[in-house]
Structures are given as C-alpha cells and as structure tokens.
Amino acid sequence: MSSSSVNHISQPCIYGHFVSSTTERKSRLMKWLSKFFKGGSGNSRGQQPQFLGDENMSWRAPARSMDGNSRTSKEKEELDRAIALSLAEDVKKPKGYRWRTDQDEDLARSLQDNSNSSSYPPKYAPWEYNPHSYRKCSGCYKDIVSGNYLGCMGTFFHPECFLCRSCGVPITEYEFSLSGNNTYHKSCFKEMTHPKCEVCHQFIPTNGAGLIEYRCHPFWSQKYCPAHENDNTKRCCSCERLESRNARYMSLGDGRSLCLECMESAIMDTGDCQPLYHSIRDYYEGMNMKIDQQVPMLLVERHALNEAIEGEKHGLHHMPETRGLCLSEEQTVTSILRRPRIGGHGLIGIRTHPQKLIRRCEVTAILVIYGLPRLLTGAILAHELMHAWLRLKGYRNLSPEVEEGICQVLSHMWLESEVMPGSRNMPSTSTASSSSTWSSSKKGGKSQAESKLGEFFMHQIAHDASPAYGGGFRAAYAAVNKYGLRSTLEHIRLTGSFPL
C-alpha cells in the first residue's frame, strides 16, 4: 500500500446552489418580505418588491413617506423577526447542505437599512454579485458565478470539476477516497491500490484479522492468494511461477509443467542439446580447465533420472528435485532420441532409446532432465561438468559443502557470461566466446524474456537455502572473489576446504 495518507470520506461535501433568480430564492424572500410589505402598519404607499430579470436580480425598495418616524415599532419588530426566521431556517437544515448564500444576508440587511432610512425618494438597493467575493473552483480555477457547487476540504468545485484522479469521471457519490490531495471513486481507489491475485485475477481477500494477506514470489513479485499454494494450481518447473487462469501451461507428461516463456527456448532431446554441451566444454577450456575425456551427455526423462540416481552409490543430489547427475557407475539409461511434439496442452510422440553406459574413467556420463529452457539446461550442464572436472583431476573426499559449492560457482559464472556478455566471468579465448553464444547466433540474440530467466536462475543459486548448495555456494563465491578461481581450486586440492 502507498505510504501516502488515505482517507475514505463519507458525506464530505457541502452541496450548495448559487442562486440569482431561482424560484426557491424568490419564494423564500417573498414569504417574509410580503409579511412586512403586504399591509404592515397600513401605509398606503407600501408595495411589493420588484424582481427584474432572471440571471441578475435587483430589488427596488418600496416608496415610503417622507416622515421617517411614521413607521411603528411593531413594523420594525416584524421585520427583524422575519430576517431572524429566514436565517434560522438555514441553520436547521441538515449538515452538508447550504442553500443560503452570502448575498441573501446582504439583501436582508440592505432591506433593513432602507427600511430605517428617512430619506426620500428611497435609495435603490440593487443586489449583484460582488466580483471580489466569487468562489474559485479548485478544479478549473474559474469563478463559480451561479448554479450548483460543492464545498470540500475547505475548497469549492463545480460539480463537473470534482473529478476522480484515476478515471477522470466526476465524483457524484457521497463517499469517496482521498489520497494526499487527490480524490478518487472508492471503486477506482480499490482497483488502484488493493492487490489482485495474479492467478485468479480477483481481489486478494482479507484474513480473519481483516488484513490483506498474500504470497509474493521473491524474484518475479507474482502476488497470489495463499489458497493457490494448496489448490493444485500448476507451477512452472523452470521459473516457479504459478499458472494464471488466463494462460495454460504446457504439461511435460511427468508431473511437470512449463510456462510459455520457458517453453520458447526449451531443449527437448539429446541431439538438440549437443551444441550447448560442447559450447560449455569450450567455456571450461577458455578458463584453462579443459576436460580431455569425451564424457557422454544424455537428455533423459524424469523417471529415468530418478532410476539413475538410485543406481549411483556415492552421488550428491539436490532435493526435492534433482535435474542433473554426473554418473560414475556403469548403467543402462533411457535417453530421449527424438523431441516430442505439442498436442493440445501437452507433449506427445516422445521417442526414447536405451543406452548402456560403460565406465572408462572416473566419469561415466552426464545426465540432464529434458524440457528445460536453454539457460537452465546450460547451468545444470556447467554444474555437472565441474563435478566431472574435479573427479578427473583427482579431487577426492570433498565435503558436500565444498564440492557442491564450487560447482554452483561455475554454474553461476556461466550464467553471468550468458546474461551479461563482457563480464569478468567471460572466457578470454575467442573459441570459447564464440561457442558459448551458440544459441544467440542461431536465434539472432537472446530475447528479453530469456535474459530475465537467466537472471532468475542466478538468483536461485545465490539464494538457495540448503547447506550444501546454498551455504556452499556463498562460501565458495566469497573465496573466488577474494583469491581468484585458480588459487581457490588449488587450496581445495591441498586442504579440502575454501581459503579464508
């Protein structure tokens, strides 16, 4: 909510009417004027007041005797009483309505002055608006000459100038919202300030304490009702955003769903992933961390990855969802040979192929789950390739915090080189630079949506809450920033820990 002061005002305005010749004003004046002029003391020269014109009203005083003392005290008392009654009628009106104007009092007092005058012929008392007493409209800044007006917050408005700041339509209701000096329809103010759920697109309801309670994604700032966390609303397995009622997610057939933005760059089969895999190997080579062995890389389904995890005796896996694996045992793994095609809101026609993996070195193969965006697939590959590099270079018996932490640093560095080209984590060799932009050159550059995804994956790594992946990354990242990657790796090889 805005920190600005917000008031919801009920019946805030003084609705009035500047009158110069209206029927009501004439009739009211006539009631008590005629009471005096109708006969009063029996003065034969008494006559009714004359109203001249409609828009500008003047009153011509009645002719009177030259003898100023001929008026009886009874007549004066009746005149005073009539004026008092007229003023009292306004006081009795409900609060918020003011039909009496300043000119009413001026006219009454002018009448009284002339009635007490002894001069003859009588003075004329024309009643006209005093230009210096005009009220200024706070909306159009013009004078309010005649007609309806509104008094609010110590200022005045033409009815058509009392506008809602949001929709620009005049406010005619007795209740409105006020934020600072700006006025709003209550409905417009709610539409503007009350958060709406980005899943069901309804106003987020209040909780038992009357407070607006909602969930908000820490990166995407997606606001949604707390109920959607438990009502089987789909969540993208890549970017974690909840499925909106206005946009259907793509089902991958294994319990995972993919949003349309992530689907644009998703890699669906092993063949499609090979160029990306080789570009990341070139990235390692550009940092003088070449991997000499030809380690197979396979894209697999979710259940195939889980089966491979069960067959791995000493693997370290990020729960609850493992998306990549560096195998060191011999296994037969079912990989995706041909990408599935889209059918309705899911993928159909997936073609798999069982492949026996033979252990020829410390690393048997690298497995990555299919259907993830290119940048996430690449981040997983960079992580698993670091596991392979450590094993092939003889790093033994590392703690989960140290091994997973340094692998996450390499994953983060590769993402940074993709999302922010020219960063300090970009390999210096031209081969690695050109290879790492395989997808960008193929598609004519990354879209803004893909770059934002890359930033999210970096955010995920940096804010991981697990001790090994999150805590290990932050310790490794601090060491690399302070001592450099090569010195940190050498210290790990000698001591099994990060330099302090």
Per-residue confidence (pLDDT) for residue 400, from 0 to 100: 93
Question: Which two structure tokens, joined as six digits, stand for 389?
Answer: 């590099």
Per-residue confidence (pLDDT) for residue 489, from 0 to 100: 96
Residues of the chain with pLDDT under 70: 1-134, 313-320, 338-339, 341, 343-345, 348-349, 422-445
Alpha-carbon span 341 to 348, nearest angstrom: 5
CA distances from 127 to 41, 159, 398 (A): 26, 25, 100
Residue 195, preceding peptide bond in cis (omega within 30° of 0): no
Residue 49, preceding peptide bond in cis (omega within 30° of 0): no
CA distances from 247 to 13, 200, 236, 259, 357 (A): 45, 11, 12, 8, 41
How distant is the alpha carbon of residue 234 from its chain centre? 22
Question: Which two structure tokens, joined as six digits, stand for 175?
Answer: 């209740």
What are the DSSP calls for 184-238, one per residue? Answer: E-HHHHHHHHS-B-TTT-SBPPB-TTS-B--EE-TTT--EE-GGGGTTT--BBTT
Per-residue confidence (pLDDT) for residue 146, from 0 to 100: 77
Alpha-carbon span 392 to 457, nearest angstrom: 27
pLDDT in tens, 313-345: 555 555 457 899 998 887 788 887 766 767 666
Question: Which two structure tokens, joined as six digits, stand for 396?
Answer: 């033994």
- Residue 93 DSSP one-character state: S
**SS3 of residue 475 by DSSP:** helix
- Residue 470 DSSP one-character state: I
Per-residue confidence (pLDDT) for residue 227, from 0 to 100: 93
- CA-nearest of 76, 87, 67, 89 to 36 is 76
Per-residue confidence (pLDDT) for residue 34, from 0 to 100: 53
- Residue 206 φ then ψ, to 5°: -85, 155
Q: What is the reported pTM?
A: 0.63
pLDDT in tens, 106-164: 554 554 554 444 433 333 334 344 444 568 888 888 888 877 888 877 788 888 898 99
